[in-house]
Amino acid sequence: MQITEIGFVKGFLRMCDDGWQQGWHERNGGNLSYRIKEEEVAQVRGFFRADAPWQPIGTSVPELGNEYFMVTGSGQFFRNVLSDPEDSTCILELDDLGENYRVLWGLKNGGRPTSELPSHLMNHEVKKRVSGGKHRVIYHAHTTNVIALTFVLPLTDEAFTRELWEMATECPVVFPDGIGVVPWMVPGGREIAVATSRLMEKYDVAVWAHHGMFASGEDFDLTFGLMHTVEKSAEILVKVLSMKGAQEAGAVKRQTITPDDFRALAKDFQVTLPERFLYEK
């Protein structure tokens, strides 16, 4: 059996290709990580190399000590993941303190795990805790329409949540907790990782202004679906805002989904929508 025939590996590789096909991963943009289940580690252990050196993560994630992750490689192109997974992705193990990692499989031509490894791991640490171990996928994508909106909407959780909820009826059901927003920051480091992981305490989605999005979920389908839903909603908003003629005639959003409509939706779909997002405009 090849490693690429194993369930979680297949799911990981397919998700990378799905994102590429959406146009969210120009060049080496974006990254994906998956916290591997114990029984899945057993399925791939036979493929591990023996002599991998430990390297510092650049932050400390003690609640993830001794866990295994599959992640995309730094500088690797999502476009190439399906055709050469052993070059562009890797499986890594953390030490018991969650301060160092070693690459046990993949990156066969050298290189390092994703440049956003601190953000991924700090998000995993928060999400593992707040979801009682259920969340396993962290996904970063350069979603075009959400990025465009970060130039025109106020960079607040309230504005992004409410505007995107309004664009498609399913949105408040798919992300009832809302969306967090990180102002523009230098990517790749600990500071942006801390800011993002704070938002992940209450949300499953964080927008990075002028850069992209982070999404967290239980499995590949749910996490990809969440990213897709938010980005599609952003695409609708960009289209609405682009109807210039209508805008000049004062007719942008002649009608919309109102706060009372959201309350009715919440009741029927049995989701809790915080009142904070249901302000009068």
- The catalytic residue positions are 116
Interface residue with ligand 2HA, options 40, 67, 116, 235 (CB under 6 A): 116
Quick one: which segment of 27-35, 104-112, 231-239, 256-264 binds ligand 2HA (CB under 6 A)?
27-35
Quick one: which segment of 28-36, 121-129, 154-162, 258-266 binds ligand 2HA (CB under 6 A)?
28-36
Q: Is 30 in the site for ligand 2HA (CB under 6 A)?
A: yes
How far apart, in whole angstroms, are the C-alpha atoms of residue 64 and residue 122? Answer: 9
Quick one: which segment of 22-30, 34-42, 127-135, 195-203 binds ligand 2HA (CB under 6 A)?
22-30
Which one of ligand 2HA, Zn ion, none interacts with residue 225, CB within 5 to 8 A by kind?
none
Contacts of 144 (CB under 8 A, 6+ apart): 23, 24, 231, 235
Q: Which two tokens stand for residue 247?
A: 């805008």
Cβ distance to Zn ion smaller for residue 44 or 179: 179
CB atoms under 10 Å from CB of 122, counted, come to 25
Shortest distance, position 115 Cβ to ligand 2HA, whole Å: 5
**CA-wise closest residue to 50 among 112, 102, 107, 4:** 102
Q: Of 192-251, which residues contact Zn ion (CB under 5 A)?
A: 212
Q: Which two tokens stand for residue 208?
A: 């990075």
Which one of ligand 2HA, Zn ion, none interacts with residue 231, CB within 5 to 8 A by kind?
none
Contacts of 40 (CB under 8 A, 6+ apart): 6, 7, 8
- Site track for ligand 2HA across 171-190, x = CB under 6 A: ----------------x---
Beta bridge partners of 72: 89
3-state helix, strand, coil in the chain (%, to 5): 45, 15, 40
CB atoms under 10 Å from CB of 12, counted, come to 24
**What CA dihedral angle connects 233, 199, 128 and 13, to 10 degrees?**
40
- Kindly state the DSSP code that residue 230 receives in the 8-state scheme: H
DSSP codes, 186-204: -TTSHHHHHHHHHHTTT-S
Cβ distance to ligand 2HA smaller for residue 48 or 77: 77
Which one of Zn ion, ligand 2HA, none interacts with residue 28, CB within 5 to 8 A by kind?
ligand 2HA
Shortest distance, position 68 Cβ to ligand 2HA, whole Å: 22
Shortest distance, position 114 Cβ to ligand 2HA, whole Å: 7
Which one of ligand 2HA, Zn ion, none interacts with residue 19, CB within 5 to 8 A by kind?
none
Q: Which residues bind ligand 2HA (CB under 6 A)?
A: 28-31, 115-116, 140, 187
